[in-house]
């Protein structure tokens, strides 16, 4: 049910920013380390979006590669599976550079229904 709570978070964020305007597109940035299944997320998004301004909106998911960086030598690399050792210097003092994202990048709303916009 991981995707269900994420979907609720998305809808809450978007509703807050839409100010009552109907949302047509929601762009998301999802890091690979979040282990989100896109189809499942979309399914729950549609479910949670019902009866909100997000109903019927298209969810566009941009997957961000997981990258680690080594604090020892500054090397940065992409990982497919979690392997927390620097291939350049062998050090284990590494941090997640990218891949942990989960954020709404942008939303598109119907201009015709703008209320209170100048």
Q: Least distance to Zn ion from the beta carbon of 84, Å?
A: 12
In angstroms, the CA 1 to CA 40 distance is 9
Question: 84 forms bridges with which residues in the sheet?
Answer: none
In angstroms, the CA 37 to CA 31 distance is 11
The single residue among 26, 70, 107, 109 that binds Zn ion, judged by CB under 5 A, is 70
Which x/- pattern over 73-112 shows residues binding Zn ion (rule: CB under 5 A)?
A: x-x----------x-xx-x---------------------
In angstroms, the CA 40 to CA 59 distance is 12
| Binding-residue total with Zn ion (CB under 5 A) | 8
Chain residues in the site for Zn ion (CB under 5 A): 70, 72-73, 75, 86, 88-89, 91
């Amino acid at each position: 049910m991981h995707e269900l709570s994420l979907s609720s978070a998305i809808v809450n964020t978007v509703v807050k920013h839409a100010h009552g305007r109907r949302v047509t597109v929601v762009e998301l940035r999802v890091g690979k380390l979040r282990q989100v299944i896109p189809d499942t997320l979309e399914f729950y998004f549609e479910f949670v979006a019902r009866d909100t301004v997000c109903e019927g909106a298209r969810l566009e998911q941009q997957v961000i590669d997981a990258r680690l960086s080594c604090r020892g030598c500054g090397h940065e690399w992409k990982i497919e599976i979690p392997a927390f050792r620097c291939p350049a210097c062998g050090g284990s003092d590494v941090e997640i550079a990218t891949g942990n994202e989960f954020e709404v990048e942008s939303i598109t709303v119907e201009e015709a229904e703008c209320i209170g916009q100048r």
